[in-house]
Amino acid sequence: MSSNTIKTPCVGLCSTVYGDLVCRGCKRFHHEVIHWNSYDEEAKRAVWLRLEQLLAQVMMAKLEVFDAQRLRQQLEQRSIRFLARQSEYCWAYQLIARGARMIRDLDAYGVALLPEFRDWELPPLRDAIDREFFLLSEAHYERYIAPGFLQQGLDTEPVSG
C-alpha cells in the first residue's frame, strides 16, 4: 500500500497560509500541512491518530454514542462522509458538523448529549466542539512540538565569541 492511499485530513479551510501554527480547519500543525505529500504512510497515520484521539476526547466530554451501528447506518443513508476505521465519536462529530441545523432528534442517530449539554442547540455545540478541538491541538503543539523547533533553532545558531 503506497503512502498515496492515506488521504489528507484537509477540509479546505486552511489557516496556516495566514500564519497559524495550527490549522483552524483540519487541526494539523503548519509543518504537517506543508510537508504532508512527502510523509510516508507511518507519519500520515500518526497525524491521523493524534487528530482522532483529540477529537474523540472532546466528543466524549459532550455526548455518548450508545448505538454505533445505528449511527453508521444513518451516516451512510444520508451520504455523510466518515472514516470507518475511526472512533464512533469522530463519526458523531461528522454527523453534527454536517447536520447540526437539520437534526431534531439526536437519539434517532444512536447518539445522546450528556446532561450538561442537553439544553444546547446543535449549531452552537458544533462550534464549541470545533473551538475545543482547535485549542487542544494548539496546546499539544505548544507542549510537544514547539519546544523541539526551539531546540533545533538553538542547535543551528552560530556561536559568537
With bands split at pLDDT 50, 70 and 90, how would you rate the model's confidence at 142? very high
Closest by Cα among 143, 102, 146 to 126: 102
With bands split at pLDDT 50, 70 and 90, how would you rate the model's confidence at 18? confident
pTM: 0.87
Checking if the pLDDT of 158 tops 60, the result is no
pLDDT tens column, 49-75:
999 999 999 999 999 999 999 999 999
CA 8 to chain centre: 12
Checking if the pLDDT of 149 tops 80, the result is no
Q: Are 155 and 39 in contact (CB under 8 A)?
A: no
